[in-house]
Amino acid sequence: MTGQAWLAYCAGLPGALVDQPFRMDPVTTVARHAGSRKWFGILMQKDGQVFVNLKCRPLEGAVLCGSFAGIRPAWHMNKDHWISVLLESDVPDALIHQLTRDSHRLTRPRGTQDR
């Protein structure tokens, strides 16, 4: 999966928007809830690798990190609650979509439900 494909997927989630909040960084793009502006994912590049950080449950994150070379504890975020997923790695696109939906659900504003 490419970064652009991931961003397009995020933009299609209910109440989601993508933007680039860092003026000096043309790559980093945040996927967030439009109403609360809370992040559910962030696309970044480090050392030539394109990856996304996604929120997940701590035990799930540990299992995923042990199961895929392309999933690691999150770079630059809470490593218990966030994972980094290398987009062009051994992680299937279907799993990246599922993890993105889960992150979207875990970070949604209180009192809202998936539609």
pLDDT category at 111 given cuts 50, 70, 90 is low
Domain range 3-107, CATH architecture:
Alpha-Beta Complex (3.90)
pLDDT value, residue 68: 97
- Model pTM above 0.85: yes
Please say whether the beta carbons of 96 and 86 come within 8 A.
Answer: no
- pLDDT, tens digit, 9 for 90 and up, residues 2-31: 999 999 999 999 999 999 999 899 889 999
The residue ranges of every structural domain in the chain are: 3-107
For residue 61, what pLDDT is reported?
Answer: 93
Rounded Cα distance between 20 and 82, Å, is 20
pLDDT at 114 over 60: no
Residue 50 CA to residue 46 CA, distance in Å, equals 7
The residue-averaged pLDDT of 40-58 equals 95
The stretch 35-49 carries a mean pLDDT of 93
Number of C-beta neighbours around residue 107 at 10 A: 18
Supply the pLDDT for residue 73: 93
88 DSSP β-pair partners: none
